Amino acid sequence: MKINMVIDNVILLASLNDSEAARDFAAMLPLTLELNDYAATEKISDLPAKLSVEGSPEGTRALKGDIAFYAPWGNLAIFYKDSGYAAGLVTLGQLDSIEKLPLNRSSFMATFELVEKG
């Protein structure tokens, strides 16, 4: 599935994987969230509801550009740096244009929109 992440009228393209968690996230779209910096590694925001982690690994390592769900906290995470393994972290997809993410801001609003179902 293809999605757009829109920040200040700038469109960042992304692809979601075919996991149950990613399908749950896509079902929430369109969705506007305030993303906040966390650990100088990722931008995070609480989601309005938890995503299903059925069939997902118990955890994973995050790579720069990953869109992920951190199940213990129920939040969305956009990684702008690689991060070590975290139990409860579920990869939802990949941001295609990570260089457009406003890293100089501690927080910003972003709208996630479904572009096409795969």
Q: What is the pLDDT of residues 31-58, one digit of tens each?
A: 999 999 999 999 999 999 999 999 999 9
- Please report, for residues 9, 56, 59, 78, the alpha-carbon distance to residue 69 in angstroms, rounded to integers and kept in the order given: 24, 11, 10, 9
Question: What's the pTM value of the predicted model, to 2 decimals?
Answer: 0.94
**Shortest CA distance to 35 belongs to which of 98, 91, 77, 95?**
77
Q: Tokens representing 96?
A: 């295609």
Domain ranges of the chain: 2-116
- In this predicted structure, the answer to whether residue 116 has a pLDDT above a threshold of 90 is no
CATH class of this structure's domain 2-116? mainly beta
Confidence of residue 118 (pLDDT cuts 50, 70, 90): low
